[in-house]
Amino acid sequence: MTLDKKNILLSFTLILLLFTTLRNISILYYLFTFSLIFYFFVINFPKLFFFKKDIYPFLILIYFTFFLCGWSYVFSDLYVSFSVGSGEILNKEISIDPLIGIPRLLLMPIMSFVFLCILKDEQEFRFVIKVIFACFIFSCLFSFIQIIIGPFTFLADAHARGGYIKYPSLLGSLTVMGSILAYIVIGIFDKAFYRSYLIKLLLLFITLFAAVVSLTKTAVVLILIAFFLLLSISFIKNLKTFIKLLFLFLIITIILSILIINNDYLSNYVNTVINFTFGWTPFDTEYHLINDTPNITLDFIIYRLTWFSSSAIDYYGLSGLIFGVGVLGGGGVMGFPNQPSAHNGIVDLILIGGIIYLLLFLYFYIRVQYYFYKNIDYNLNKFFFLCNIVFLVNMIFISGSYFQPSISIIYWLSIPYYFYHKGINKV
């Protein structure tokens, strides 16, 4: 595919969209990013009003998102009553500027609309995914560089974890890197993107080592989920492919184990990550491991899913749960760090836009996933189907996943791809 004006501008847009920490270097980041997205949006603006009836639901989502911008101003000054751990009822007056959160609310739905309007064939969708993966891989390599020369000042602050330094990435906060690595793993094992086995192996090693370097439980768990999904879908659809894939995973595991066992620094790093994730170590070591974060257990998962969410719901009350309170409901995700966060992307949707916002998400998610599964062997359907499962896991455990560009971009791209395959993307 030739690099015409559209693809060059789209590539720059994607790079700026994903490398969000570049905003810390200069205000010009906002100017360039806004200009590029605004350009694509304006040239396609009439398509918001002249469209085929089949995409009504998608445009309803866009319209409702714009409605939430105005809805947010209803709650710019809010009086809340909530209970604390002692049972005492506290009253608090909140005053915010919704304009802080509105760009974050609009960003990814607008990008999805742009994708719907300008991507017209299979190769263009693959091109976009390759640009996304290039950004992800570059961010992985950027993390490796920080181990050697130290953290870059324009990124988020580095933190200690397990006795090592947890470095931020170009993609955003400290947790973002761990959330997107599973997408790369799924893409590596999809023949639509990389046919060379050497390139596949190299990218896999980079991704797995980035999971260790990220020092996040999220990276370990999501990559294991990605491998499980790849095996499961191949077992269901093609037993021969399942056996090949299982054999390949065993070979990769053996190679990695040999490399890790023969490198004390690497084995200690891996042991530390597995130890603070699951509470055990895969390799023998005399190194004293530091576990400064709770292990993943059933009790921890239940606590994570319920405590923060119930606190946020209690804070905003029943009306906030039903109708939402606009961008204020997103807390730190929307730029309001002093407000409670649900630490759950699903509850985020409810607190921001109420039940309607959640139903819109579930409608599209179920609709595209059902179609992709029914046509799983066709082109990129399997890739999007598996990535969207990983995305849903991200949403359940990570606040703001629906809005964070790197975590959500595959999902937002899958909706236009669904319409493309249905033959109704020519709005």
Distances (CA, A) of 183 to 133, 251, 387, 390: 9, 21, 6, 8
The C-alpha atoms of residue 327 and residue 346 are separated, in whole angstroms, by 14
The C-alpha atoms of residue 216 and residue 218 are separated, in whole angstroms, by 5
| Least confident interval from 114-118, 205-209, 287-291, 392-396 | 287-291
- pLDDT score at 425: 45
Tell me if 245 is assigned to some domain.
yes
From 246, 267, 296, give the residue that closes a domain: 296
The C-alpha atoms of residue 329 and residue 243 are separated, in whole angstroms, by 47
**pLDDT higher at 195 or 183:** 183
Mean pLDDT, the chain, integer: 87
CB atoms within 10 A of CB 164: 16
Q: What average pLDDT does this structure show over 364-390?
A: 94
pLDDT at 277 over 60: yes
Note whether 287 and 164 are same-domain residues.
Answer: yes
Note whether 252 and 189 are same-domain residues.
Answer: yes
From 262, 277, 296, give the residue that closes a domain: 296
Distances (CA, A) of 164 to 159, 161, 170, 178: 8, 5, 19, 16
Note whether 285 and 177 are same-domain residues.
Answer: yes
- pLDDT score at 305: 85
Note whether 51 and 183 are same-domain residues.
Answer: no
From 249, 272, 296, give the residue that closes a domain: 296
Tell me if 21 is assigned to some domain.
no
DSSP H or E segment with residue 34: helix 28-43
Return the SS3 of 150.
Answer: coil
Residue 403's domain spans which residues? 44-118+305-427
- pLDDT score at 79: 67
The C-alpha atoms of residue 385 and residue 230 are separated, in whole angstroms, by 11
Note whether 160 and 291 are same-domain residues.
Answer: yes
Note whether 397 and 339 are same-domain residues.
Answer: yes
The C-alpha atoms of residue 178 and residue 386 are separated, in whole angstroms, by 17
Q: How does residue 12 score in pLDDT terms, banded at 50, 70 and 90?
A: very high
**325-373 pLDDT per residue, tens:** 899 988 888 888 888 888 889 999 999 999 999 999 999 999 999 999 9
pLDDT at 86 over 70: no
Single out the residue of 22, 10, 259 nearest to residue 111, CA to CA: 10
Contact 293, 217 (CB under 8 A): yes
Distances (CA, A) of 125 to 189, 194, 298, 383: 17, 15, 39, 12
Note whether 57 and 108 are same-domain residues.
Answer: yes
The C-alpha atoms of residue 103 and residue 106 are separated, in whole angstroms, by 5
Q: Please tell me what DSSP assigns to residue 406.
A: H
Tell me if 279 is assigned to some domain.
yes
Note whether 361 and 287 are same-domain residues.
Answer: no
**113-128 pLDDT per residue, tens:** 999 999 988 999 999 9
Note whether 283 and 309 are same-domain residues.
Answer: no
Tell me if 364 is assigned to some domain.
yes
pLDDT at 218 over 70: yes
Count of domains forming the chain: 2
**229-263 pLDDT per residue, tens:** 999 999 988 888 889 889 988 998 898 889 888 88
Note whether 243 and 328 are same-domain residues.
Answer: no
pLDDT at 385 over 90: yes
Computed over its alpha carbons, how large is the radius of gyration of the chain? 22
Tell me if 106 is assigned to some domain.
yes
Note whether 287 and 159 are same-domain residues.
Answer: yes
